[in-house]
Amino acid sequence: MSFTLVIHGGAGNITPAIMNAEQEAQYTRGLTEALDKGYHILQNGGTSLDAVVAAITTLEDNPIFNAGRGAVFTKKGLNEMDAAIMDGSNLMAGAIAGVRNIKNPIKLAREVMLRSGHVFLSGEGAAEFALNQGIEMAPDEYFFNRQRYDQWVEIRDSDYYQLDHKADNLKGQTDPEYKFGTVGAVACDAEGNIAAGTSTGGMTNKRYGRIGDSPVIGAGTYANNKTCAISCTGHGEPFLRAVVAHDVSCLMEYKGLSLQDATAVVVKDKLVKIGGEGGLIAVDAKGNYDFCFNSAGMYRGMRNSDGKEVVAFYGE
């Protein structure tokens, strides 16, 4: 049986004009390392779920991505993180939102799925559960990143928010350098079971405990062996309204669309009509995969048992 791992590190206005050779090398290393960790598990007969967690943990540990260690700062100058994971073999899922000082939020999401009896925990309750489960914590200093901090300082006295680096703000103005910095992974293992996971540090200067699509099952993350596993990245509000991840699954289940046709309908038609920008990664239970995005680029990678590998940033 074939197996496949697909990852992303965010989407947005990612073009050669805003990337120098050093940055390209940095992102190539970061994506390749995550592929190595996740693929090693699949290659040794491990589960899609474990491969997804391994790949995302590696991305969370890398401060160039807006998740885990690289999480951006909120209005209050804090790092708040969201994550979700879903097992396509049994539709079990776990998600957390608004957590702080959790070294690897994706690991906490997995614990929620396996041991809490619930699907979605947030804030202080999620933190209490993390302590009970012995999840690894990290001090505020671990999450401090000078570049991210300076981005926040620049806009903290305004009503603007930024989608990762330079971004849309509340007044609808746009900076050409914005990126959506979620990370995610989807996998199909040798048993034909699929899984999806997503992790994010949210928006710079976000207020009111805002939560995007990443941890919401069916919006930013979804997996079902009958159809597909999806992890999204983009401006979360339209992705929430369009229930993007589940919509792709529905088009496959109810209309019989292929993986590629279903993702194209949702990302390049439905999302565009409501102003949604970003993309997703997808895999089905036969190991077919897809990258689909309507932004200029998406940090992405894929490796499969047919010997194929992709690491790319820009649009085709």
Cβ atoms of 289 and 304 within 8 Å: the answer is yes
Residues shown for the chain: 316
**Catalytic residue of the set 57, 182, 198, 200:** 182
Q: What span, in angstroms and rounded, lies between the C-alpha atoms of 161 and 34?
A: 29
Distance CA 85, CA 88 (A): 10
Say how far apart CA 312 and CA 16 lie, in whole Å: 12
CA angle 203/207/208 to nearest 5° reads 130
How far from 246 is each of 134, 198, 258, CA to CA, in Å?
Answer: 32, 14, 14
Of 52, 66, 136, 41, the closest CA to residue 94 belongs to 52
DSSP sequence for 208-227:
TT---STTSBTTTEEE-TTS
CB 33 within 8 A of CB 299: no
Residue 226 structure tokens: 């009958």
Beta partners for residue 292, in sequence order: 280
Told to judge if 198 belongs to the known catalytic residues of this protein, a careful annotator would answer no
Amino acid in position 184: G
Yes or no: say if 182 and 197 are a contact pair by the CB < 8 Å rule: no
Which residues are identified as catalytic?
182
